[in-house]
Structure 1
Amino acid sequence: MSRRIVTRDGTGLYVRESGPEAAPVTVLLAHGWTLDERCWAPVADTIAAGVQSGPPTRVVRYDHRGHGRSDDTPDERKTLERLADDMAEVIEQVIPAGPVVIAGHSMGGMTAMSLAQRHPELVAERVAGVALVATASGGLGGAATLGMSGRPAELFLAGKEKVTVSPLWTDRRALSSHPALLRAGVRPLLLGRQPDREAVRLTCDAIAGCRPTTISGFTPTLTAHERDAALAAFAELPVEVLVGSRDRLTPPRYSRRIRDGLPRSGLTVFPDAGHMLPVERVAGVAARIGALVRGTVRADRAA
């Protein structure tokens, strides 16, 4: 089932739900930069069916503002702070009661950290577990170079300043109408060793459909992201930190930095996987989120 909600600033967000509405726990899935909720679909279907979580579980996923089928937003609102406010509104409007397990991939994980910073009461009252998937708590000053370094990074940044003010960039509704043309660049940057065809397709389809202004507009907030201190809000919660050994955008050192801030959290490094864990390692990611769901159910029964 899908629906559209409207935030307090008038931005429409596309929301998709699966699983029984009366389930004792709801999993909220937040996607990454330039992607959309479809990248969580394989994991969402697995969890909703109860394959990894025990009983069937309600799953809610949505498109961030400026992404997918949600409304675009001015550049000054393309911030992690605004995304955190949106996440709070999704919880308030779509999941008004019951415990919530949040799983955030890449920018979605950063959004969860910003939620903890901006809405600590909501986190304390409603959030029962957190999965931080291929993400970082800070140190992303090089995020604008998309994993490149040295001379290639310098050339990219020099060209970026010219390209992103051109009408060919600002007036385009989507990056490309031919997702297959992105494979040569997307596969080595975002995916690990020997990804299956569906993982490549989902990744390329999402990025091809991304608005070019979303790419440029969200870059400053990602490079400025420093939220080690925000992790304290998750200190008493069960937390799973997941990363691929071949992740070029948020390599394992970023996950270890999160683990240093949350020493009680679990850390899983998936061998040979890249940045796109929700499509590359569906069963493994669903299993870790499912464990958080089962733990929440057991805790509620014990209480």
Structure 2
Amino acid sequence: MIPLPPHLTLAEGPAARPPVALFHGFLESPAMWQALPPRLWAGRDAVALPLPGHAPWLCSGAALEDLLRDDAFLDSYAALLERLRPGEPWRLVGHSTGAMVALALARRAPHLVSDICAVAPLFSGRVAGRGMQGALARLPILGPMGFRWMMARWLARPDGFRRGVAGVTRRPGARLEMFDGVRADLVAADPAQIYRFGQWIGAKDMTADLHALDRPVHAIICDRDPVVVPQHQLALISAARGASATVLRSGHLPMLETPAAFARVFLAWRNRHGAAAVDPGFAQRHSDRRFEAVAI
């Protein structure tokens, strides 16, 4: 029997409107979506799903290995979405690693997916964990120990946690308090299991799958992202058929850094209509890409 993951209900709506499922990124939790304005999901069934190893999806180490083997956790997502809305396709939203998971689910169970909104998308683990810190994290013994130490220090105090979150942003005044619920979930998780899922990320490459993906993808690209470089995010457009993009002047967390612009872009995607003008400089540098809407 396929285990069903826990889910957080963000909103409920009429059956006539397509449901939305949201996936957070690595070292995040479903609480990040819950902290955003309810109007983003109003009038629709919307659920937030945890990544494996992240609270509230708590299980034994052996159970996590079963979920990661052959990407079986994707079947758990599919079983849950089918149970929640039998026979209906879902609109998927994924942030960072969550976008990778959404893309993988669309390839695994295309009948359950109508389209995808990928925010600051990561689709290949090869770009994750770059530099000296990434190299140290991959060491067999020191890697897990160092990760556990880093997690404990980062989560020890609310102010320290917010400083860590601020490190991946690039705009002043980011609403870091909206991530406080994420800290509570990370404290409840097992660092060893989060580290194990990080290994799954490092070994995953969606490049070949993107060429075969037959579902529309709209990427919200963050042009100042220090975590997933914009060039990697832009590559999603050329690799996936029917993909388009919105560019935000933001770091890795546009929903905290530029919430008004993020809301406009997200609602445009949710309501299936475009908006706004293209940043001339950015568009000129990437004139071979397909832009649908850009908010400044």
Fold equivalence (TM over 0.5): yes
Structure 2 partner of 1:59: 46
1:14 matches 2:7? yes
RMSD: 3.3
User: How far 1:88 moved relative to its partner?
Assistant: 0.9
Q: What do the CA deviations read for 1:20-62 (whole angstroms, capped 9, x no partner)?
A: 243421111111112111111244612223xxxxxx2221112
Query: In the alignment, which of 76, 82, 87 is matched to residue 86 of structure 1?
Result: 76
Distance 2:234 2:243 in 1: 10
Q: How does 1:187-198 map to 2 (within 5 A)?
A: 187-188=166-167, 190-194=168-172, 195-198=174-177
Structure 1 partner of 2:117: 131
Structure 2 partner of 1:70: 57
User: How far 1:263 moved relative to its partner?
Assistant: 5.4
Please list every run of 5 or more consecutive structure 2 residues that lacks an aligned counterpart in the other structure.
Answer: 274-296
Moved more, 259-268 or 284-293: 284-293
Is contact 2:4–2:79 with CA below 8 Å preserved after alignment? no
Distance 1:33 1:104 in 2: 11
User: How far 1:270 moved relative to its partner?
Assistant: 1.2
Structure 1 partner of 2:155: 176
Distance 1:61 1:18 in 2: 10
Structure 2 partner of 1:162: 142
Structure 2 partner of 1:5: none
Structure 1 partner of 2:271: 294
Amino acid at match of 1:98: E
User: How far 1:131 moved relative to its partner?
Assistant: 0.5
Q: What do the CA deviations read for 1:136-168 (whole angstroms, capped 9, x no partner)?
A: 222x3352x3x5x24x5555555x8336259x9
Distance 2:51 2:135 in 1: 29
SS in 2 for 1:13: coil
Distance 1:10 1:173 in 2: 29
Please list every run of 5 or more consecutive structure 1 residues that lacks an aligned counterpart in the other structure.
Answer: 1-7, 50-55, 297-303
Q: How does 1:152-301 map to 2 (within 5 A)?
A: 152-155=133-136, 157=138, 161-162=141-142, 164=144, 169=148, 176-188=155-167, 190-194=168-172, 195-199=174-178, 201=180, 204-235=183-214, 237-262=215-240, 264-271=242-249, 273-295=250-272
Distance verdict in 2 for CA 1:244–1:117, change over 3 Å:
same
SS in 2 for 1:141: helix
SS in 2 for 1:91: helix
Q: Tell which has more relative contact order, 1 or 2 (C-alpha 8 A, sep 6+).
A: 1
Is contact 1:174–1:209 with CA below 8 Å preserved after alignment? no
Distance 1:276 1:40 in 2: 12
Distance 1:220 1:109 in 2: 17
Distance 2:205 2:143 in 1: 28
Q: What do the CA deviations read for 1:262-294 (whole angstroms, capped 9, x no partner)?
A: 3532212211x2222343344444444433443
Distance 2:37 2:12 in 1: 9
SS in 2 for 1:268: strand
Structure 2 partner of 1:45: 38
Moved more, 10-19 or 99-108: 10-19
Distance verdict in 2 for CA 1:227–1:156, change over 3 Å:
closer
User: How far 1:186 moved relative to its partner?
Assistant: 3.1
Amino acid at match of 1:161: I
Paired residue total: 268
Is contact 1:34–1:67 with CA below 8 Å preserved after alignment? yes
1:141 matches 2:126? yes
Amino acid at match of 2:74: A
Structure 1 partner of 2:96: 106
Moved more, 74-83 or 88-97: 74-83
Distance 1:203 1:279 in 2: 13
